[in-house]
Amino acid sequence: MMNIGIVSYGAYIPMNRIRIEEIAETWGRNPDDIKKGLNVFEKTVPSPDEDTATISVTASRYALSRVNIDPKDIGAIFIGSESHPYAVKPTSTIVGEAISAVPELMAADYEFACKAGTAAIQNCMALVRSGMIRYGLAIGADTAQSAPGDALEYTASAGGAAFIIGKEKVIARINCTCSFATDTPDFWRREARKYPKHGGRFTGAPAYFRHIIGAAKLLMEKMKTKPEDYDYAIFHQPNGKFPVTVGKRLGFDRKQLEQGLLTPYIGNTYSGSSPLGLCSVLDVAKPGDRILMVSYGSGAGSDAFDITVTDEIENFDRDKAPTVRELMERKRYISYAIYAKYRNLLYWE
């Protein structure tokens, strides 16, 4: 089997944080109930000058800084997001230009709620395997929108991760990937609408849990693996509870989840969610470590990945870019009023 996988990776989250207390108190809710209910304590907030394009560029530059790859050898850039700065006009060309990968470049923006970033990884894998490209850059990034006062406001955050996919000097081999998708409208945003709508508790059992469990089981059947074969497991993390619950149902324990579970302190970065979890695992992984990652995108579908960390990671310059933990530590807290200003919740003529 051809060794295809992750050649490098980079993560980025904005440095602004808002605490659950700030949001809850604005809307007259008890913050303890929310923190307990969601297992989320704070979330990232993009600065007014940050968007999915800037997050993608930063994560991609971090990925490139860890390896010695000519950006011109990147043949494809795919960015998964549900907050592309333009409805029509690709984010991927902005990134392509900013990392000097243009003009011989396949570039496209993906959308599949929170799993478009992992779909980008799969497509890059296919292009590398077919020989159409040498390296592909797959990005999942978002500056997630949430209506003021909506339950999503406690979690919708910003961040992203970029992966250089290739077959040379692979630090994490992707042994297998498979997907599970059905038409399940649990969460959506209509064309030209600013904020998404969701089905409340319907987003749980028939949506998140069914698809993640479906994809994970499919993958483990194909690979003939059991939960205990994995050192780390990462599940899409819309809040701090769902991934723990789904892990438990699948037979994973908390220790396998810990390193990749970021939502309690950064919120739900949507398309960046499971990819950032994977970055956090790669920040500490050792040769031979085996990783299960399952994303989830509303609407609905999951992409599952079986990954093995290779010996190459020993030669890999992880220190050339900040780790997810380092990014999490760079922070400044903002009030709800500043949040409202940054997120354009205040209107004036």
Give me the active site residues, please. 82, 114, 236
Residues 9-38 that bind other proteins (CB under 8 A): 10, 15
40 residue type, one letter: V
Which CB, 84 or 134, lies closer to other proteins?
Answer: 84
> Considering only 28-36, 50-58, 276-284, 297-305, which stretch makes contact with other proteins by CB under 8 A?
50-58
Q: Which residue in 42, 50, 186, 306 binds other proteins (CB under 8 A)?
A: 50
Residue 320 has which token pair?
């050339």
Which CB, 50 or 186, lies closer to other proteins?
Answer: 50
CA neighbor of 307 nearest in space, from 179, 215, 190, 174: 174
Which CB, 62 or 112, lies closer to other proteins?
Answer: 62
Q: Which residue in 163, 232, 235, 342 binds other proteins (CB under 8 A)?
A: 342
Q: Does residue 341 touch other proteins according to CB under 8 A?
A: yes
The owner of tokens 């243009």 is 102
Residues 74-93 that bind other proteins (CB under 8 A): 85-86
Residue 259 has which token pair?
């390193």
The DSSP 8-state label assigned to residue 60 in this structure reads H
326: Cα separation from own chain's centroid: 17
d(CA 131, CA 125): 10
Contact 157, 269 (CB under 8 A): yes
Q: In what order do the strands lie in the sheet containing 332-333?
A: 42-45, 16-19, 332-333
Q: What is the DSSP string of 70-111?
A: -GGGEEEEEEE-S--S-SSS-SHHHHHHHTT--SS-EEEEE-
Using the Cα atoms of residue 209, residue 213, residue 214 and residue 215 in order, give the sign of their dihedral.
positive
Q: Which residue in 27, 248, 332, 337 binds other proteins (CB under 8 A)?
A: 332
Residue 84 has which token pair?
């592309």
Q: Does residue 142 touch other proteins according to CB under 8 A?
A: no
Pairing state between β 187-188 and 197-198: antiparallel
Q: Does residue 320 touch other proteins according to CB under 8 A?
A: yes
Q: Does residue 249 touch other proteins according to CB under 8 A?
A: no
Q: Which residue in 9, 62, 252, 270 binds other proteins (CB under 8 A)?
A: 62
Q: Which residue in 3, 21, 73, 98 binds other proteins (CB under 8 A)?
A: 98
User: From the CB of 125, what's the least distance to other proteins, in Å?
Assistant: 25
> Considering only 166-174, 235-243, 266-274, 315-323, which stretch makes contact with other proteins by CB under 8 A?
315-323
d(CA 320, CA 119): 27
Q: Does residue 316 touch other proteins according to CB under 8 A?
A: no
Residue 304 has which token pair?
């599952």
> Considering only 27-35, 44-52, 106-114, 121-129, which stretch makes contact with other proteins by CB under 8 A?
44-52
Size of the site for other proteins (CB under 8 A): 29
Residues that bind other proteins (CB under 8 A): 10, 15, 47-51, 53-54, 57-58, 61-62, 65, 85-86, 94, 97-98, 100, 319-322, 330, 332, 341-342, 344
